Structure 1
Amino acid sequence: MRRPDMHVEKGEEFFENGFAIFVNKVYEHFDLPEHLHDFYEISYVWEGSGFHYIGDQTIRVSKGDLFFIPIGISHIFRPSSPHPNKPLRIGNCIFDASLFHFLTSILPEQYHMYRFNDLAQHGGQWLQMREQSGEFEQVMSSLLSEFQQKRTGYETMMCGLLLQLLIVMGRTIEHEEASSSPNQDRMEAVLRSIRSRLADKITLASLAKEVGIGTRQIQRIITEHTGASFSELISHERINQSCRLLADPSNRVLSIADIAAAVGIQDPKRFYRLFKEKTGVTPATYRRRN
């Protein structure tokens, strides 16, 4: 969900000397608020586990997951825990629209770059996939190495590696579509229902009734798509929404207790404890930092 004042990261902050590819490998924390960007991004989960809040979805992530994020899609990665012994490390490869369009149009359609051509033309569609045997890590490692060492011809090498990564991603998508889960639409319905009722008491029975499926089936769907239990998902959604509210300057008039109540936690002490447990900082500290 995009707020009008949501932070927009710009490619000019990262690209140097006219070369429109930037690669890094970073540990995720709760300091960075949800954001969007004016460039394309491929994010790879290099280490650990956590959650990816992207668009209107919450996705449990772990090593081997990869996301293709177009221009204008709001997202943020959050670790499962703020403790340093449970890190979430993400590799990012970002590149501008003109380079992306060039790489996805230089080959004839029969060379199977049509999926990314469609993304370039229509936009707004993010993709998620998971590697089978380290194929994403291999290419991401090569991209990072070329970017850091900057040996002669590294720009051309990185363009070739990015094209290779897009091809490997296309193969993975085809494989996953052949065995896709029929429960994705139901999971999206579950998330929509939860987010529309965060200020209320949400029980598994009431959620099942609203979505129109059994409680056991809902539990299976939630675990399948997020790796979390029903209560864990509710907590994650409430804390993530409170992060959004605390980071929004228009909510400065609201007290911490007001924010807690807005996400369905009536006891401020419980909210304080849960927020610090999930983010590693207090609600007041989070508000000051953002």
Structure 2
Amino acid sequence: MKRPMETYYGDHFFRDDTMMYVNRNAENFSGSYHNHDFLEIAYIVEGEGFHHLENTVQRVRKGHIFYIPLGVSHVFRPTSANGKPLIVNNCIFSVQLLSKLIAFASDSDTASFLQRMQDGSLGYKSIMDQHDRFEKLFDSLYEQNAMPIRGSAVYLHTLLLQLVIEFSRAIEHLHTKPSELQHHSFQDVLQYVERHYMHELSLTVLAHISGFSERHLQRLFRRYTAQSWHHYLQTVRVRMSRELLRTTPDKVSAIAEKVGYKDIHSFNSVFKRNTGLTPGQYRSETRID
């Protein structure tokens, strides 16, 4: 039996000159099976369910990302009406917006990928988020769309371009030969450090999760960050502590512990060596009230 179909139009969603829209939706069984006259990148934020696409059904869970081209019929459904909700972030944008992004793209690979989206030669794609890169991007997109202020349209377009670049890289990663994966894998190491800097980290831990030897990891840190592993970790921790000093009333000792330092004296020493100021001096000069 042929199911009822709706067509969604971008003019109903787009605001002013943004030519894009971002929402966060709890899917249900009353949502319409539909196609649309805009492009869509969807991200599963929470839960599990199903993606009904044309004549196929795909099981989905947190971290799944989908690119849905023009005219493709689909709908998301939760696993059950009374179960855990299926939460989806949707970033929709006009094909006309891609001309602006193509003009801004400074490398041929990105411009070519955008061109394929524009002319319809890029078909439906499904990938998994690795190391929460896309989750953070969608959070930023949602916040910027929800609280429009001066420059929001440009900010949204910049974030969309970043989203497309990350998406194209993830697709390329799926088809990359093992011998060409080193820089991708080391990027994963850097992302791991960004998410676990507050814990006890060592080259031994990173070697275990990456498959690189400790000696080779040291070489990679020197090559790609111009720092030793030890100094890179310090840089990340100091950067995170600066944010906490500017934006929270937490005591310096509490902040030190939050970023991975159990000894306040070590934290003070590392912080001053990196910034030229003590944590207290930095807070006095930069505190956001």
Q: If the TM-score is normalised by the length of the shorter chain, which range does it land in? A: 0.5 to 0.7
Shift in Å, 1:55 = 2.4
1:156 equivalent to 2:142? Answer no
Match of 1:74 in 2: 73
Alignment of 1:1-290 (within 5 A): 6-83=5-82, 85-123=83-121, 125-178=123-176
Structure 1 vs Structure 2: percent identity of aligned residues? 34
d(CA) in 2 for partners of 1:24 and 1:176?
A: 28
Q: Return the structure number with greater relative CO, CA threshold 8 A, min gap 6.
A: 1
Instruction: Say whether the 8 Å CA contact 1:105–1:117 is kept in structure 2.
Output: no
Q: Which residue type is aligned with residue 133 of structure 1?
A: H
Classify the secondary structure of the residue corresponding to 2:30. Answer: coil
Deviation by residue 1:163-210 (Cα, 9 ceiling, x = unmatched): 00000001100112238xxxxxxxxxxxxxxxxxxxxxxxxxxxxxxx
Shift in Å, 1:93 = 0.7
* Structure 2, unaligned runs of 5 or more: 178-289
Distance 1:178 1:60, change over 3 A: farther
* Structure 1, unaligned runs of 5 or more: 180-290
d(CA) in 2 for partners of 1:121 and 1:74?
A: 18
d(CA) in 2 for partners of 1:102 and 1:51?
A: 34
Deviation by residue 1:99-157 (Cα, 9 ceiling, x = unmatched): 02331353255343312312322347111111111011111100001111112211100
Shift in Å, 1:77 = 0.3
Moved >3 Å (runs of 4+): none
Instruction: Say whether the 8 Å CA contact 1:143–1:161 is kept in structure 2.
Output: yes
Classify the secondary structure of the residue corresponding to 1:178. Answer: coil
Classify the secondary structure of the residue corresponding to 2:46. Answer: strand
Q: Which residue type is aligned with residue 113 of structure 2?
A: R
TM-score between both structures, scaled by the size of structure 2: 0.57
After alignment, is 139-148 or 48-57 more displaced? 48-57
d(CA) in 2 for partners of 1:123 and 1:36?
A: 17
Classify the secondary structure of the residue corresponding to 1:68. Answer: strand
Q: Which residue type is aligned with residue 75 of structure 2?
A: I
d(CA) in 2 for partners of 1:57 and 1:109?
A: 35
d(CA) in 1 for partners of 2:21 and 2:174?
A: 28
Q: Which residue type is aligned with residue 144 of structure 1?
A: Y
After alignment, is 53-62 or 26-35 more displaced? 53-62
The structure with the larger Rg is 2
| Count of aligned pairs between the two proteins | 178
